Amino acid sequence: MIVLGIETSCDETAASVVEAKNKKKKILSNILYSQFKEHKDYGGIVPEIAFREHLKLIDKIILRALKKAKKEFKEIDVIAATGGPGLHGGLLIGTTIAKSISLSIDKPFMPINHLEGHILSPRIEYNLSFPYLVLLITGGHTMLVIAHKIGKYEILGMTLDDALGEAFDKTAKLLNIGFPGGPQIEKLAKRGSPSIELAQPLINSNDCNFSFSGLKTSVVKIVNSKKNKSDKFKADICCSFQYTILNIIKKKCELGLQIFQKKYPNKKKKIVVVGGVASNSFLRKNLEKFTITNNSNLFIPAKNLCTDNAAMIAWVAAEKFKKNKQNNFNFQPLPNWHI
């Protein structure tokens, strides 16, 4: 089966062709234009700008994905596009162009939930079977989920305020170190030490919910109280911020693993970390150590499959279409689509 996937839910215009043949999976192409230059002056994503950029680029990105995969439209079996959650304008562009292609080549269209794309993404590279615990950390969402099987996801907890990626972006904006914040904080943190104590909201709440707005507020207070915001100070803040995040997510993953183990006492404990923030090398390295001490296995996709991409969207369609051949042509974008 050859699937064309399209992703336009936020600020990445992306298309990918994947091939699924029995148990073999292959990403034939994974093309992406990241609009960070267009949004950087605003320190965040401007929906109207994202919409216009998607409109300008999407057809070219799709053609490049086909060319790289050495496929023609007539060889595609299924066309998938992100149907939500995300910015309505981008979702409309992706689903509309996917439906147009589906109509013109007479092949099914499948709308895909973006979060499900992240949750299933490690199954492209790894031989990863269900069930597994997922820490989903993106710019818009933060949650702990048990993936029981395809289509059955149990949310153990989620953020009550900011998403983790959002906390990275807002902290970077406050320090005036650039956008998107995650990679900038990661870079600067390498030169700092974890010497500044920051709030760790909900760390002892004994549930799987997260909160990051209090952490952000403690950064604001410390930054505002400092007259000389030297590079060393900024590096220390970034480093302390990353250590604080690590403490919080380790604690929540421990709780998540306990719940997982009660439900599946005879299964190997598996943790999957997905979403843009999972591309952070400091977190990757330390979560590896954490899972070794916890006697669990860790699966984190390659960095380019952690941040938004269309291969994960095509992949969900490949997994689902095998089980249930469907054409969802009447679908309308769902900006708040839950899993």
Contacts with Zn ion by CB under 5 A lie at 138, 308
Our measurement of the distance from residue 118's CA atom to the centroid of its chain's CA atoms, rounded to an integer in Å, reads 5
Give burial (CB, 10 Å; 0-12/13-18/19+) of 113: buried
State the Rg of the chain over Cα: 20
Q: Pick between residue 4 and residue 246 the one whose CB is nearest to ligand KG4.
A: 246
Could you tell which of Zn ion, ligand KG4, none binds residue 307, using a CB distance below 5 to 8 A set by kind?
Answer: ligand KG4
> In this chain, which of 84, 122, 180, 201 binds ligand KG4, going by CB under 6 A?
180
List the one residue out of 235, 112, 259 whose CA is nearest residue 175: 235
Least distance in Å: CB of 167 to ligand KG4? 8
Q: Output the CA torsion sign for 178, 181, 182, 185.
A: positive
List the one residue out of 126, 200, 203, 130 whose CA is nearest residue 167: 200
Q: Within positions 290 to 309, which residues make up the interface with ligand KG4, using CB under 6 A? A: 307-308
Could you tell which of ligand KG4, Zn ion, none binds residue 169, using a CB distance below 5 to 8 A set by kind?
Answer: ligand KG4
Q: Which residue in this structure is represented by tokens 């000389």?
A: 228
3-class secondary structure for 304-330? HHHCCCCHHHHHHHHHHHHHCCCCCCC
Stretch that binds ligand KG4, among 46-54, 192-200, 273-281, 284-292 (CB under 6 A): 273-281
Least distance in Å: CB of 10 to ligand KG4? 5
Does 276 contact ligand KG4 by CB under 6 A? yes
Q: How many helices (H) and strands (E) does the chain have?
A: 12, 10
Contact track, ligand KG4, 181-200, x by CB under 6 A:
xxx--x--------------
How many Å apart are CA 265 and CA 260, to the nearest integer?
8
Q: Pick between residue 186 and residue 308 the one whose CB is nearest to Zn ion.
A: 308
Least distance in Å: CB of 249 to ligand KG4? 12
Could you tell which of Zn ion, ligand KG4, none binds residue 89, using a CB distance below 5 to 8 A set by kind?
Answer: none
Q: Pick between residue 66 and residue 134 the one whose CB is nearest to ligand KG4.
A: 134
How many Å apart are CA 132 and CA 149, to the nearest integer?
9
Residues that bind ligand KG4 (CB under 6 A): 10, 138-140, 165-166, 168-169, 180-183, 186, 275-277, 279-280, 307-308
